[in-house]
Structure 1
Amino acid sequence: MSSAKGAVLILGGRSDIGGELARRLCPGRPVVLAARGTHGMDKLVDDLRTLGATDIHKVDFDAAAVDSHRELITNAQQLVGEITCAVVAFGILGEQDKAEHDEHHAVDIATVDYLAQVSMLTVLSDVMSRGHIVAFSSIAGWRARRANYVYGSTKAGLDAFCQGLADKLTLDKSKDLALITARPGFVTGSMTEGMKPAPMSVTPDVVADAITAQIPTELTKKPRSVTLWIPRRLAVLAFIMRLVPRAIWRRMPR
């Protein structure tokens, strides 16, 4: 089922932020929810129907299987037609302590949070012709910290990739496509359950609101690629972080 506004694809259909974005973007549009296994999304599907989604599909998606990414997008297009909003919301936090001694776990974090993201963003930017792609960096990638440097390093690399991709899309006159790169702080939700919130923490709905504000309801002109600190005042903290001496920074907590 196609839509004049195009379809919404959520890669990471069980993620808190992905679900919140689906709820905001779904009215009058078909939605594809892609996740590792199609379980655990019934409540979200019910919400999307109530909010006006015209069609909803759940598909199995293994982010680490990068060779399957292009096929997944092709299959999604066959289900719902043109995709004009793709949200890359999959990821793992991992365990820093374990990753320091278990190279396989460190590689798992790097694969899902960087390699798979690069692969999927490359496929989406190649296949899509208009609309928005949403990617998630993090304050954790702004300056790597002793307490979470494995996860932080993936976000640093992904952020650099996204800045280059955004520039590429801006200069590409053949597409009306933009990249929204979100840099949230600590997000309270299922991924961080049990962890003490950091300063300037936000909830998934706040992140989704900030991103949705950058996506117009009608695609009438070439969209603009943007990078968003969420909340905005986090940019001030990021500036200060760069100034802290290394001897102090290495002892900073998460």
Structure 2
Amino acid sequence: MNGILLLGGHSDIGGDLLTRLCAGRPVVLAARRAWTLTEVAERATAAGATEVHTLDFEATDLASHRALVDRAADLTGGLGTAIVAFGILGEQRRAETDEAHAVEIATVDYTAQVSMLTILADTMTRGEIIAFSSIAGWRARRANYVYGSTKAGLDAFCQGLADRLHGTPLRLITARPGFVIGSMTEGMDPAPMSVTPAEVADAVATEITDGKGSTTLWIPRRLRLLAWIMAAVPRPIWRKMPR
């Protein structure tokens, strides 16, 4: 049972992490418009994947999640790694007045994640599940509170799930990066302690192969100090903070 499932096949971080883990292993890529995953599949093959399958995946179709995981397990002979890398940033200004968009962000970035993580933890027997939180969830800001609130909820869920899995052959690793410079944030000015998808992938891959059992990874590590400083900023000042 050494198959890899990448949920969110177009994810910069997910794709980079996949290439660091897939040598000698079968892979399933799941995303909207699965037929557009050719480049990702070619990267995985070049990195040593023994076979690459693609599946259509719609995160908001919660009823389809378990069947997709079961299919991925069948295709690979059993999953040993699941990378939950789907998500959207959304548009904060639009979400402030468009309730449908606010709910879309919440569904993709929180509800669908909870659904998929629950199914993976229920069906996988060993290996690792990787989820992606964010510094945005540490303390919600006026400039991105809709997205930030989903990451706060997801982070809390992951901490509890990681504790439930503690002592079993299956573990959940939650990556907590700072601002990630990638396709999702294209055109935005990088924030302090920004990282690239490759840096996030390196940190997670190192924890999987050489780590000491950490369940939460601050990326970069010094981001933890900034987070504690953020928590101490008085509310009147914090509400004026930019993204």
TM range (shorter): over 0.9
Tell me what 1:243 maps to: 232
Tell me what 2:216 maps to: 227
| Aligned pair partner of 1:117 in 113, 116, 136 | 113
- Per-residue CA deviations over 1:4-36 (Å, capped at 9, x if unaligned) read xx0111000111001001111110000000001
What does 1:45-60 align with in structure 2 at a 5 Å threshold? 45-60=41-56
CA distance in 2, matches of 1:96, 1:208: 27
- Is 1:17 the counterpart of 2:10 in the alignment? no
Is the Cα–Cα contact under 8 Å of residues 132 and 175 in structure 2 kept in the other structure?
yes
Q: Secondary structure at the match of 2:36?
A: coil
Q: Runs in 1 of length 4+ with deviation above 4 angstroms?
A: none
- Is 1:210 the counterpart of 2:198 in the alignment? no
CA distance in 2, matches of 1:130, 1:53: 20
CA distance in 2, matches of 1:109, 1:7: 29
Q: Compute the displacement of 1:215 (Å).
A: 1.0
Tell me what 2:165 maps to: 169
CA distance in 2, matches of 1:39, 1:201: 32
AA at the equivalent of 1:8: I
Gaps of 5+ in 1: 218-222
CA separation of 1:65 and 1:225: change in aligned 2, threshold 3 A:
farther
| Aligned pair partner of 1:201 in 178, 188, 194 | 194
Is the Cα–Cα contact under 8 Å of residues 182 and 228 in structure 1 kept in the other structure?
yes
State the Cα RMSD in Å. Answer: 1.2
Is the Cα–Cα contact under 8 Å of residues 28 and 72 in structure 2 kept in the other structure?
yes
How many residues get paired?
242
Is the Cα–Cα contact under 8 Å of residues 207 and 214 in structure 2 kept in the other structure?
no
Is the Cα–Cα contact under 8 Å of residues 12 and 35 in structure 1 kept in the other structure?
yes
AA at the equivalent of 2:33: G
Going by fraction, where is helix more abundant, 1 or 2? 2
Q: Compute the displacement of 1:225 (Å).
A: 4.9
Q: Compute the displacement of 1:216 (Å).
A: 2.4
Is the Cα–Cα contact under 8 Å of residues 135 and 182 in structure 1 kept in the other structure?
yes
Q: Compute the displacement of 1:43 (Å).
A: 1.7
- Is 1:182 the counterpart of 2:175 in the alignment? yes
Q: Secondary structure at the match of 2:193?
A: coil
Is the Cα–Cα contact under 8 Å of residues 21 and 208 in structure 1 kept in the other structure?
yes
Q: Secondary structure at the match of 1:79?
A: helix
AA at the equivalent of 1:77: A
Is the Cα–Cα contact under 8 Å of residues 3 and 79 in structure 2 kept in the other structure?
yes
- Is 1:39 the counterpart of 2:35 in the alignment? yes
- Is 1:97 the counterpart of 2:86 in the alignment? no
- Is 1:192 the counterpart of 2:182 in the alignment? no
Percent sequence identity over matched residues? 65
Q: Compute the displacement of 1:39 (Å).
A: 3.3
AA at the equivalent of 1:250: R
- Per-residue CA deviations over 1:92-136 (Å, capped at 9, x if unaligned) read 000000000000000000000000000000000000000000001
Q: Secondary structure at the match of 1:208?
A: helix
AA at the equivalent of 2:111: L
Q: Compute the displacement of 1:49 (Å).
A: 1.3
Tell me what 1:66 maps to: 62
Q: Compute the displacement of 1:78 (Å).
A: 1.2
Q: Secondary structure at the match of 1:91?
A: coil
Q: Secondary structure at the match of 1:215?
A: helix
TM-score with structure 1 length normalisation?
A: 0.93
- Per-residue CA deviations over 1:208-234 (Å, capped at 9, x if unaligned) read 0000011128xxxxx835100000010
